[in-house]
Chain A
Amino acid sequence: MMSKTRLDELNTNIYDFKNKDDYAYKIDKGLSKEIVEEISRQKNEPSWVLDIRLKALETYNKLNLPTWGPNLDELKMEEIATYVRPKADIKDKWEDVPTEIKDTFEKLGIPKAEREYLAGVGAQYDSEVVYHSIKDELLSQGVIYTDFDSAIREYPDLVKEYFSKCVPIFDHKFIALHYAVFSGGSFVYVPKGVKLEMPLQSYFRLNSPESGQFEHTLIIVDEGASLHFIEGCSAPKYNKVNLHAGCVELFVKENAYLRYSTIENWSKNMLNLNTKKAIVEQNGQVDWISGSFGSHISMLYPMSILKGDNSKTEYTGISFAGKNQNLDTGFKVVHVGKNTSSVVSSKSISKNGGIATYRSLVRILPNATNSKCSVTCDGLMLDDLSRSDTIPVNDVQNSDVEFSHEAKVGKISEKAIFYLMSRGLSEEDAKAMIVRGFANPVSKELPMEYAVEMNRLINLELEGAIG
């Protein structure tokens, strides 16, 4: 009997190193009005932010947990510290960042990436941003890229105008939680007509055990501008649950373009309940590239609202669910304007008891005439312990549309292996090629260095046959 091909668990060793849980301030565990007020006091915020926090807390207490999706019983807010300030203030030179924290980001390759191909970098450690920088020529063009706390202080009108307007606080329970205790994150404003050639990257590292990260990312790409933003996340593994409930709000104005790439590699004790949403104006386009590799439980459904006529969105995502992982991911799109179009391509690989679920919504409203939407999702199962489910909701409310959805689930085709072997490839090479080819639609959308990292994450170890 042939042994089965083994696709290794994701090699997270490079991310799984712990620093001492050494912080300047860690708030008491749990969630209460006093804790929320204390976070606000610690951050020395204006009163309008505290008002939003308190309103969000009230909303959080009123809303129920979702009745669908993965079981969230493990989440006990009374065991989570929602704010941990590291022993470092925000710096704009890596040399000024404390050695231990700097070493962390060195190991993750952030400063190297900045030197080679990024236009700006933000690095968050636990609840606060410790490093933020942007190339001078972008500053002179009026590009704002800063941490969220600085943005509240320095650009209050701009922040007030957009903050919580894309993702409202009552959207769901965990976004209400986010607004109650949010800390850190990035703020980006790209002025009219400015096209960034190189990407900006924010990296979020959660080091403290039994804590949560609630960063808020707000990006405004003004008319005719373009931006590629990369988000990376990781954490070392602890025995207790960590929580990530971030929020991403994207505003893509007329004729603007935004590409938002995420390589998420949280540790396997993380509950990743993140919310991402974009509002796209006339002729604008937002593209999402999403790689979900880590976390114990993920509930992540980026959303595009195609508000303006002729606006577009594309979503390319891959998720890899290994042992003890339940990744419930997908995409939501609402077509509001005329002639809008969306293309969704989702891939999932599940093995060793992992559960990969694709859950999506496509809603085409009555006025969104001449809209087009195409959805494809493929699930690859590598053993019989795993699960792969596809749950798409398609809601079409006018007749002048072209909508199609396709999905496929199964194992690696023996025919494909046979074909490649008949062309001279060894069995192992054939299988490796098929699995990497399966992930290719995502990796080809990433900058080269990230694609290499993603391929490294999916480390094939082949023994005998797949299937």
Chain B
Amino acid sequence: MEINKSPILTSVNYGINNIDFPQSEIKYSHGKFNSFTTCGTENCSIKTNYGILAPEFLVKQNQNFCTSIVIKKTQDEPIILNFDLDKNNSVLIDYLSIKVENFVNAKVIIKYKSNADVYHNSLININATENSNLDVLVINDLGKNSTNLIKFNNLVQENGKLYYKIIDFCSNYTIHNFNSKIEENSLCELKSIYIGGENCLIDLNYTQNLLEQNSCCSIDCVGAISGNATKNFKGTIDFKKGATKSKGYENEMCLLLSNTAKSKALPMLLCGEEDVDGTHSSSVGKIGDKELFYLMSRGIDRNEAIRIFVKAKFNIVLKDLDEQTMKEILDRIDKELDNER
């Protein structure tokens, strides 16, 4: 695999006051890359089935893009980081650190896009400090035979709010490892949608740790898989001792669009505190004949009915997107579903 010859970040929309940005370092990982991929994909990630990525220090050692963003003032416009990869820029190992300061509201959009097959491994650290409010949207749309590994580390401090949304057009290996630490009176909400087909291995490991009282979290994960795709989902809500009056909600839903797609789910609820409210639910199945029949009896053809149904399920994330992004995503979902038939 060719090592990047130029920076991959194609656009950064952070030209707004009061953002510390960035000491962007471009490092090339000649010589180290092979050992890194071996460790990341063979020894750690893929064999475990549960999205354990390469150790963080290896990402930091091998990164070819690194940035640290500190948001000091409320932003009206989203901060956008676009990573467009292509045949000549086929390796991205990025380390992003984003911090919102006290009483600041902001929105960050991170897009990884490529038509070519690429290798991508990210470490995204988010720190939502006291009374801050941060929206993060991550869109992964890489070539079909790409490897896409992302580690999300989040710290939500007192009274902070972090709303995370992840949209995944899954590539061959899509492995996410999401881990949040949620402090007193704070909230971390994760909504994730994914669509995968062919021989995709989708491995999602989402963990929300409720550390202190009155903290809240949710994991809402909806996906549609087809072909021979295999999805492993492990969601954990962990009420640590001291997290009194905390609430956790977890929902996982997987639509199987082919007979050979496989879904494995492990929605865990760990509870070391008495006065908490934790629920989880998980469901798997195909699109109901009744639902399809209803739509088709209204004159909609079968394929369109399936598209409508899938998009309706994805509404948990789609409804919060801006118009242009929503349109792009809806078009991509249509394209993806058409390809799978």
A residues whose Cβ falls under 8 Å from a Cβ of B:
366, 379, 381-384, 386-411, 467
Contacts and interface: CB of A to CB of B under 8 A. Distances in A.
A410 B270 contact: no
Given A395-B264, A406-B280, A407-B280, 17 more contacts: A381-B271, A383-B274, A384-B274, A388-B271, A389-B271, A390-B269, A391-B268, A392-B268, A392-B282, A393-B265, A395-B263, A402-B285, A405-B265, A409-B271, A410-B275, A410-B276, A410-B278
Nearest to A374: B283
B143 interface: no
A1 to B, nearest CB: 14
Interface stretch (B10-18, B175-183, B253-261): B253-261
Contacts of B259: 366, 398-400
Interface residues of B, number: 35
B276 A409 contact: yes
A162 to B, nearest CB: 32
A384 B262 contact: no
A135 B257 CA distance: 55
B241 interface: yes
B274 A379 contact: no
A326 to B, nearest CB: 13
B268 to A, nearest CB: 5
Main secondary structure of the interface of A (DSSP, over half): strand
B273 interface: yes
A393 B264 contact: yes
- Top 3 A-B residue pairs of the complex, sorted by shortest distance between their CB atoms: A399-B256, A405-B282, A390-B269
Contact of A396 (B257, B277, B284): B284
Contacts of A383: 274
Contacts of A407: 267, 269, 278-281
A341 to B, nearest CB: 14
Nearest to B256: A399
Interface string B145-166: 0000000000000000000000
A320 B263 CA distance: 32
Nearest to B287: A399
Nearest to B226: A399
B275 A409 contact: no
Interface in B232-249: 239, 241, 244
A384 B284 contact: no
20 contacts: A384-B241, A387-B271, A389-B268, A390-B268, A392-B268, A394-B265, A396-B256, A399-B258, A399-B259, A399-B286, A400-B259, A401-B284, A403-B282, A405-B267, A406-B279, A406-B282, A407-B280, A409-B271, A410-B277, A410-B278
Nearest to B250: A407
B262 A404 contact: no
B264 A411 contact: no
Contacts of B279: 406-409
B22 interface: no
Nearest to B279: A408
Contacts of B273: 381, 384
B266 interface: yes
B279 to A, nearest CB: 5
B265 to A, nearest CB: 4
B281 A409 contact: no
B275 A404 contact: no
Given A392-B266, A393-B266, A399-B286, A406 B271 contact: no
Contacts of B277: 410
B272 interface: yes
Which of B260, B271, B277 is the most central at the interface, judged by chain A CB atoms within 10 Å of its CB? Answer: B271
A201 to B, nearest CB: 35
Contact of B257 (A399, A401, A410): A399
B275 A467 contact: yes
Contact of B278 (A386, A400, A404, A408): A408
A355 to B, nearest CB: 9
A392 B275 contact: no
A404 B283 contact: yes
